[in-house]
Structure 1
Amino acid sequence: MFEFHGWATIRQNPADSDQEQLDIIIQKIQLKITEFAWGSGLLSLNAANGSYYLHVGGFTNRKGDEAAEIVELYQWIGEIAPGSYGLLYTRDDDNMEGFDNEFRVQVLSRGRLEDQRDPFLSPYFPVIEDHADSRKSE
């Protein structure tokens, strides 16, 4: 299973933003989101108190198009709005690179998206769940 949860605050740049330019950026992001044909999961761009934020989340049976699209979206937001910041948590229990028992964190800041290990919910076994064989002994 592939699990993902994330948020990003959309800002034109790390300093003061030009509202007109920010409106153009928001329109571009809204258009980009309409290109995704997701059958399930959360992908929304919202406004609150004059600020914009992106929310993503979901569970898929396998790491598929959603995984690649959401990472590309975060990278693209970093390029067009380098003041944006946020986190994208992912877990792929089929990961063949040794990360199948942990969450990975993509950190968006100052136009860059960097991959980091999760210190809070990993390793998945035993921080979140017990191994199946340890439950049998109870």
Structure 2
Amino acid sequence: MYEFHGWATIQESPAEADAGQLDMIIQKIQLKITEFAWGSGLLSLNAANGSYYLHVGGFTNRKGAEAAEIVALYQLIGEIAPGSYGLLYTRDDENLEGYDNEFRVQVLARGQLQEQRDAFLSPCVPVIEDEVD
């Protein structure tokens, strides 16, 4: 199973949340989201109190198109709105690189998306799950 949960605050630059291009940035993000053909899961871009934020989440049977699309969306946000920041937690229990018992964290800050190890819920066994007999 592939599990993902994330959020991002959309800001035009680290110095100023809206320097005049935020509406255009939001339109580009919305356009990218319309390219995704998701059957399930959470993918929403919302506004509150003059700020924009993204929420994503879901479970798929296998790591599929959603995984690549979400990472591409976070990368796009970093490129066009380098003041944005957020986290994307993923877990792939079929990962062949040795990460099948842990969450990985994509950290979005200052235009960069960097993968890091999770220090809170990993290793999944025994932190959040029991060993299977």
Question: Which structure has greater helix proportion?
Answer: 1
TM-score by length of 2: 0.98
| Bigger Rg over Cα | 1
Counterpart code for 2:7: W
Q: Percent identity?
A: 82
- Could you say which residue in structure 2 is the equivalent of 1:29? 29
Per the normalisation by structure 1, the TM-score is 0.94
State how far apart, in whole Å, the 1-side matches of 2:10 and 2:117 are. 24
Q: Which runs of 5+ in 2 are unaligned?
A: none
**Over residues 90-114 of structure 1, what are the superposed CA-to-partner deviations in whole Å (9 max), with x where a residue is unaligned?**
0000000000000000000000000
Contact 2:10 2:83 in 1 (8 A): yes
Q: Secondary structure at the match of 2:119?
A: coil
Equivalent position of 1:91 in the other structure: 91
User: What is the CA deviation profile of residues 40-76 of structure 1, one whole-angstrom value per residue up to 9, with x for unaligned ones?
Assistant: 1000000011100000000000000000000011011
Query: Per-residue displacement from partner, 1:12-51 (whole Å, max 9, x unpaired)?
Result: 0000144530011001111110110001100000001110
Deviates more, 1:13-22 or 1:55-64: 13-22
- Say how many residue pairs are matched: 133
Matches within 5 A, 1:1-138: 1-18=1-18, 20-133=20-133
Q: CA RMSD in A?
A: 0.8
